[in-house]
Structure 1
Amino acid sequence: MTTLTAQRPSATAPTRAAAPAKRPFPLVRHSLALTKRSLIKTWRTPEALIDVTLQPVIFLAIFTYIFGGAVAGSTGSYLQYLLPGVLGQTIAMGAIAIGVNLNTDMEKGIFDRFKSLPIPRSAPLMGAVLGDVVRYVIVAVVTIATGYVMGFRIQTSPLEAVAGCLLAVLFALCLSWVSVWVGMLVRTSGAVQGVMFLLIMPLTFGSNVFVQTETLPGWMQSFVNVNPLTHLVDSMRGLFLGTPIGNHVWWTLAWCVGLVAVFMPLALRGYRRKV
C-alpha cells in the first residue's frame, strides 16, 4: 500500500527572483540623467557657447564706447548703468538656443529613441531646460568679468550681487519654456530662431536696458513699465548698484511663475503631439 507524502520543495529548486523595487521620483531621476546628457553635449561642442561668451563682450564694448558719451556724458557712468541691462538682454537671448537645439534633435530622430524608453514623457524637455543652467551661469560670469575689466564696479555686498545673478538665471530658465514651446510648434530649427528673435527683440529694446524710461515717448513708456525685462534689469541694478528696487524683484518673480505656468504645459502638450 502506497502512502502519500507531502512534497517539499528541493533545496536546489530554483526560486522566483524578487521583483526589483521601484525607485521613487522617476521624473526627477530621469530628468537629471538627461540633464547630464545635455551638459556632456555642451562640453563636447564648445562652439555652441559663442552666443553666451562673445555676445556680452561685444555688446558691452559697442554700446559703452560708441553711445556712452552721447547717452550719459561719459563711458564710465554709462557702463555702470548699462551692464545690468546687457546681462538681462544676453541672458534672455540665450534662451533662444534651447528651442533650436530641441527642434534639431527632433529632426534627427533622437526623441523617437526617448519615446521607446521607459521614462516619463516630459523628462527629455525637463532635462534639456535644466541643462541650460550652465549657459546662463556663463553669461553672468562673462558679463560681470568683462565689465570689471572695462571699469564696472559692484556697489553692494557680494551676497546681493550673487542674488542678482541668480535672479537673472531663474528668469532665463522660466523664459526658456517659451523657446521650448516654439520649438515644438514650428517645423525647422531656423524657424525657431526667427520666431524667437521676433519675440525677444521687442522685449530687449522696448525696455530700460539702454536708456532710462523717462527719456522714451509716452506711448512707449506704458509698454516699458510692464515689460518683464524692465523689472529684471531694475532688480539687478538695485542688487548690483544699490539703487531703489521697489517691487521689481516681486514683479520679476511673478513673471517667472507666469511664464512657467503658461508655457510649460503648452510645451509639454506640443511635445506629446509631436512624438
Structure 2
Amino acid sequence: MSTMTAKAASPPSSRVGVGATIQQTATLAWRSLVQIKHNPWELLDLSIQPIMFLLLFTYVFGGAISGSTGDYLQFALPGLLVQNALFYTLSTAIGLNSDITKGVFDRLRSLPISRTAPLAGRVIADTFKQIWAFALLVGFGAVLGFRVQTDLLGVLGALALLVVVSLAMAWMSVLIGLIASSPEKVQMISFSAMMPLTFTSSALVPADTFPAWLKTWSDLNPVTHLADAIRGMMIGGEVASPALVSLLWAAGFALVFAPIAINVFRTRI
C-alpha cells in the first residue's frame, strides 16, 4: 500500500517522449481544424481573400503590367500563391495570440504535455488550410484562363515546396504571436513584416522593372526565389536553383525562429 501511495504521489515526469509529442501535436492540430465546423466563416475567409486578390491584380493591374489580363494571369498566379501562403501565416500568429489571451494555454500548462505540441499543432493545422487555399486558387485561376504549362508532377512539386517554406516561415509569425500583447498588434507587426517582403519581390511584377538598388534586394529576397521556383514548376523556367535557395532560406527561418519561439513559449506560458 505504501509503495502504491508513493507512486501516486510522485509528480509526473517533465520529459515527454517523441512518440507522445507527435501524438499530442496531432491532437492539437486536429483541435484547430475541427473549429472550422463550429466557425465556418474561418474557411470562408480563407477562400474569399485569395480569390479577391486574384481578381483585383489580374483585372486591375494585368493590362498595365503585361499588356493583357491573360498574360498577366499566367505570370502572376504562381506569385499570388506565394503571397497568399505567406500572408496566411499571419492567421497562425493571430490564432495563437488569441488562444494565449483567452487562457487556453493556461489550461494546457497544467497538463503533462510537450511544450512544443501547442505551437507545432497550430502551425501544422494552418498548413493543411493552406493546401485548401492552393487548390482553390489554382482551380479558380483555371476558370479565368490560367493554364499549367508543365504537368501534374510540377504542380505537386510546387505545392510541396510552398508548404515546406511557409511551414518554416510560420515560426516567425509564431514568435510575433507570442510576444505581442493583443491580436491587433500581431496583425500590425506581421503585416508590416510581410508586406515589404512580398511587394519587393518578383511575385507580382518582373524584377527587371525595378530600380537597380531595389533589384539588388529583390535578388536576395526569399520571396523572389520561392515565386520563381513555383513559376518554373507550373509554367516552365528555371527550377533547381531558386528551389534550392528557397529551401536554404526555409532552413534558416526554422533554425532561427523555431528555437526562439519555443523558448519564449516556455518562459511565458
* Common fold: TM-score over 0.5: yes
Match of 2:198 in 1: 204
Match of 1:178 in 2: 172
For 1:208-255, what per-residue CA distance to the aligned partner results, in whole angstroms no more than 9, with x for missing partners? 122111111001001111111111110011000111225000011011
- 2: distance between equivalents of 1:121 and 1:64? 44
Match of 1:112 in 2: 106
For 1:101-129, what per-residue CA distance to the aligned partner results, in whole angstroms no more than 9, with x for missing partners? 11111111110111000111121111111
The one-letter amino acid of 2:267's match is R
- 2: distance between equivalents of 1:103 and 1:24? 26
Mean alpha-carbon deviation: is it higher for 63-72 or for 234-243? 63-72
Among candidates 248, 251, 256, match of residue 257 of structure 1: 251
Matched, 1:190 2:184: yes
Match of 2:226 in 1: 232
Match of 1:86 in 2: 80
Task: Flag the 1:33–1:181 CA change in 2: closer, same or farther, 3 A.
Answer: same
The one-letter amino acid of 2:233's match is L
Please state how far the C-alpha of 1:274 moved relative to its aligned partner: 1.1
**Larger C-alpha radius of gyration, 1 or 2?**
1
Among candidates 263, 266, 269, match of residue 269 of structure 1: 263
For 1:43-78, what per-residue CA distance to the aligned partner results, in whole angstroms no more than 9, with x for missing partners? 322212344311121111111112211111111111
The alignment's TM-score, normalised by the length of structure 2, stands at 0.91
Match of 2:237 in 1: 243
Matched, 1:168 2:180: no
- 2: distance between equivalents of 1:190 and 1:229? 25
Aligned with 1:156: secondary structure? coil
Matches within 5 A, 1:61-140: 61-140=55-134
- 1: distance between equivalents of 2:37 and 2:242? 35
Match of 2:53 in 1: 59
Unaligned runs of 5+ residues in structure 2 are 9-15
The one-letter amino acid of 2:22's match is V
Match of 1:154 in 2: 148
- 2: distance between equivalents of 1:23 and 1:215? 52
* 8 Å contact kept, 1:136–1:169: yes
Number of matched pairs: 259
- 1: distance between equivalents of 2:90 and 2:144? 27
Match of 2:30 in 1: 36
For 1:194-213, what per-residue CA distance to the aligned partner results, in whole angstroms no more than 9, with x for missing partners? 10000000011011122111
- 2: distance between equivalents of 1:143 and 1:211? 18
Please state how far the C-alpha of 1:257 moved relative to its aligned partner: 0.6
The one-letter amino acid of 1:85's match is G
* 8 Å contact kept, 1:94–1:135: no
Unaligned runs of 5+ residues in structure 1 are 1-15
Query: As a proportion of its length, which structure holds more helix?
Result: 2
Match of 1:217 in 2: 211
Please state how far the C-alpha of 1:24 moved relative to its aligned partner: 6.0
Match of 2:11 in 1: none
Matches within 5 A, 1:2-21: none
Please state how far the C-alpha of 1:143 moved relative to its aligned partner: 0.8
The alignment's TM-score, normalised by the length of structure 1, stands at 0.90
Please state how far the C-alpha of 1:29 moved relative to its aligned partner: 1.4
- 1: distance between equivalents of 2:100 and 2:204? 37
